[in-house]
Amino acid sequence: MPWPTGADFASKHNHKLKGAAASKAASMASAMVKAGVPEGTAIATANKHGNKMMARRSPSLAETFRSR
């Protein structure tokens, strides 16, 4: 099943994803399904990539407390 928007993908498969990470995950999963990859594998791969993108955007707790 192709996911037209990041918000659509995030609402069904990974509620933590926001913005560009969700859009990238949706396009990645859609492209993988279109290429013949099983849907579950495509979703899992896109979620892993999206979570890594979100982790890079968010400061870690150590950085947050260091800045105070």
pLDDT of the residue at 28: 92
**Which region, left, alpha or beta, applies to residue 19 given φ > 0 means left and ψ of -120 to 50 means alpha?**
left
pLDDT under 50: residue ranges of the chain: 61
CB 55 within 8 A of CB 42: no
Tell the residue number behind the tokens 């407390």, with chain if given: 65
Structural domains of the chain, count: 1
Q: Does 58 map to a domain?
A: yes
pLDDT of the residue at 45: 94
pLDDT of the residue at 31: 94
Chain centroid to CA 56: how far?
Answer: 12
Q: Does 1 map to a domain?
A: no
Q: Quick one: tokens of 33?
A: 């399904």
Residues of the domain holding 30: 6-66
pLDDT of the residue at 18: 87
pLDDT of the residue at 17: 87
Q: Does 17 map to a domain?
A: yes
Q: Quick one: tokens of 58?
A: 């968010």
